[in-house]
């Protein structure tokens, strides 16, 4: 009870999650009286980072920074307008399609929402869309980033679950497309109810020019996915090659990226990735304590008393994780829940780890847009000058689409495993 109380109190005091996990582990050692465990504490911290796959995290973050600074976003938006710009409500579909393209580059939902909100929300508002719906569409599109590869959540899950990160990336492709289709249906439903402005098409020479300008941007995700599928490079090596390609693209092709900006981008990447990696190190200690206390075994026994059906188990997990994701950052929540729930899912219910990872990731990233924390809501609100509550109401069709996608994915694991089996 002392350990649980420490964990809950620190959470409510809004202490950094890494400190919450580390201090809770120290409290457990003190409460157990087994002070010899302190000798293993630094070893557990270090072993949490002693995994080659984690090198992909700062590299993917660097790719996103280089692509954002290099003028990729505006070119992808123009390319998206070629395909769906002519339809009524076309700019909303452009927003979603551009988010899908960015998702294959950025890998972080919060970063993608921040970037796209600055570009798409003002443009949609000028075209006659309500500011709340414009911000909601942009925020919902950001949910695709942790599902369509590359994805930092998938990298972390792959390390925690000890499964190939490249296969985890492939597992996210079809679920990402399913989620995007659900969002398109949500846009169509809102348009049918409220009436959208007529879209502006890009045709002829302007269309060809827009596609040609955006074509080099496809090189980055092609290197990441192609390198992994072809067995040419590991996910970490693919991330390094993608970062080099993004730098060359921004510096010498588009020429929007300046050499003078590189030190700032490297510094921002180092700061952001160090926060994530410190969190992973602290969570490894927390996971060590969880195993020491046999919490997974106790939770498994309780769940087995409720149901033996894998689908029902996943529905219960969905409900649990929606609550957890609303309270905690997605990365922190994943690091906490995976050591507890994954062994149960595999041993007691025979659930494929890739299937489980996709379901967990969608649940946790949904917390970006749900109160009380909802970081994505506040990012979108800051960029659009719309109250978070108004954005959340406008988000309701997208949230319903996400919940339906979660139920379908929980029911049909083949959607996740089709490309890796």
pLDDT tens digits, residue range 226-274? 787 777 888 888 888 888 888 888 898 888 888 999 999 899 888 878 8
Based on the fold, state whether residues 31 and 65 are members of the same structural domain. Answer: no
Across residues 17-43, what is the average pLDDT?
78
Per-residue pLDDT band for 398 (boundaries 50, 70, 90) equals very high
The CA radius of gyration of the chain, in Å to the nearest whole number, is 22
Based on the fold, state whether residues 236 and 215 are members of the same structural domain. Answer: yes
- Judged against a pLDDT cut of 70, whether residue 85 lies above it is answered with no
Based on the fold, state whether residues 28 and 55 are members of the same structural domain. Answer: no
Question: For position 399, what pLDDT does the model report?
Answer: 92
Q: What angle do CA 95, 271, 387 make, to 5 degrees?
A: 40
Per-residue pLDDT band for 397 (boundaries 50, 70, 90) equals very high
Task: Report how far residue 84's alpha carbon sits from residue 95's, in angstroms, rounded to the nearest whole number.
Answer: 10
Say which residue, 218 or 352, is predicted with more confidence.
Answer: 352
8 Å CB contact between 65 and 104:
no
Percent residues over pLDDT 70 in the chain: 91
Phi–psi pair at 88, nearest 5 degrees: -65, 130
Based on the fold, state whether residues 187 and 321 are members of the same structural domain. Answer: yes
Based on the fold, state whether residues 355 and 236 are members of the same structural domain. Answer: yes
Q: What angle do CA 31, 35, 40 make, to 5 degrees?
A: 115
pLDDT tens digits, residue range 192-216? 887 776 666 677 787 788 788 888 8
49, with CB counted inside 10 A (0-12, 13-18, 19+), is middle
Task: Report how far residue 182's alpha carbon sits from residue 403's, in angstroms, rounded to the nearest whole number.
Answer: 10
For the chain, what is the mean pLDDT? 82
Based on the fold, state whether residues 225 and 301 are members of the same structural domain. Answer: yes
Q: How many domains does the chain have?
A: 2
Based on the fold, state whether residues 209 and 236 are members of the same structural domain. Answer: yes
* Beta-bridge mates of residue 198: 88
Based on the fold, state whether residues 173 and 33 are members of the same structural domain. Answer: no
Across residues 123-142, what is the average pLDDT?
86
Measured in Å, how far apart are the chain's first and last C-alpha atoms? 44
Q: At what angle do helices 56-69 and 152-161 cross, to 10 degrees?
A: 170
| Alpha carbon of residue 162 to chain centroid | 19
Based on the fold, state whether residues 118 and 15 are members of the same structural domain. Answer: no
Based on the fold, state whether residues 210 and 282 are members of the same structural domain. Answer: yes
Per-residue pLDDT band for 172 (boundaries 50, 70, 90) equals very high
Task: Report how far residue 397's alpha carbon sits from residue 154's, in angstroms, rounded to the nearest whole number.
Answer: 26
Write out the H or E segment, with its range, that includes residue 213. Answer: helix 204-214
8 Å CB contact between 60 and 144:
no
Based on the fold, state whether residues 6 and 138 are members of the same structural domain. Answer: no
Joined together, the tokens standing for residue 289 give 């304590």
Q: Which residues contact 238 (CB under 8 A, 6 or more apart)?
A: 223, 224, 225, 227, 228
- Which structural domain range is residue 17 located in? 1-39
Based on the fold, state whether residues 9 and 97 are members of the same structural domain. Answer: no
Q: Please state the pTM of the whole predicted model.
A: 0.82
Give the number of other Cβ atoms within 10 Å of residue 243's Cβ.
Answer: 23
């Amino acid at each position: 009870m002392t350990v649980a109380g420490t964990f809950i109190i620190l959470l409510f005091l809004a202490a950094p999650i890494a400190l919450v996990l580390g201090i809770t582990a120290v409290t457990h050692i003190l409460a157990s009286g087994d002070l010899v465990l302190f000798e293993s504490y630094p070893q557990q911290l270090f072993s949490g980072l002693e995994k080659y796959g984690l090198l992909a995290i700062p590299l993917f973050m660097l790719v996103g920074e280089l692509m954002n600074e290099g003028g990729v976003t505006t070119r992808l938006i123009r390319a998206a307008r070629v395909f769906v710009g002519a339809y009524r409500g076309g700019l909303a579909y452009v927003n979603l399609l551009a988010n899908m393209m960015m998702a294959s580059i950025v890998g972080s939902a919060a970063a993608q929402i921040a970037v796209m909100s600055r570009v798409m929300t003002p443009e949609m508002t000028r075209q006659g869309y309500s500011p709340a719906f414009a911000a909601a569409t942009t925020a919902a599109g950001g949910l695709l980033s942790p599902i369509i590869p590359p994805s930092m959540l998938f990298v972390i899950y792959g390390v925690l679950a000890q499964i190939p990160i490249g296969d985890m990336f492939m597992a996210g492709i079809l679920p990402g497309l399913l989620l995007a289709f659900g969002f398109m249906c949500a846009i169509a439903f809102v348009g049918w109810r409220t009436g959208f402005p007529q879209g502006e098409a890009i045709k002829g020479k302007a269309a060809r020019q827009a596609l040609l300008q955006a074509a080099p941007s496809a090189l980055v995700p092609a290197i990441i996915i192609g390198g992994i599928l072809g067995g040419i490079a590991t996910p970490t090596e693919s991330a390094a090659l993608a970062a080099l390609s993004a730098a060359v693209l921004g510096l010498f092709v588009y020429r929007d990226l300046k050499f003078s900006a590189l030190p700032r981008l490297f510094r921002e990447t180092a700061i952001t990735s160090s926060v994530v990696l410190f969190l992973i190190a602290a969570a490894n200690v927390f996971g060590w304590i969880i195993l020491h206390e046999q919490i997974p075994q106790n939770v498994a026994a309780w769940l087995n008393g409720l149901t033996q059906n894998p689908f029902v188990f996943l529905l219960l997990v969905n409900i649990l994780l929606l609550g957890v994701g609303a309270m905690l950052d997605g990365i922190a929540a994943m690091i906490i829940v995976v050591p507890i729930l994954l062994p149960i899912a595999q041993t007691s219910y025979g659930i494929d780890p890739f299937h489980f990872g996709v379901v967990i990731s969608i649940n946790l990233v949904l917390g970006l847009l749900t109160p009380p924390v909802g970081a994505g809501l506040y990012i979108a609100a800051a960029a659009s000058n719309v109250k978070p509550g108004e954005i959340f109401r406008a988000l309701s069709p997208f949230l319903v689409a996400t919940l339906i996608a979660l139920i379908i994915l929980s029911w049909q694991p083949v959607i996740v495993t089709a490309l890796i089996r």
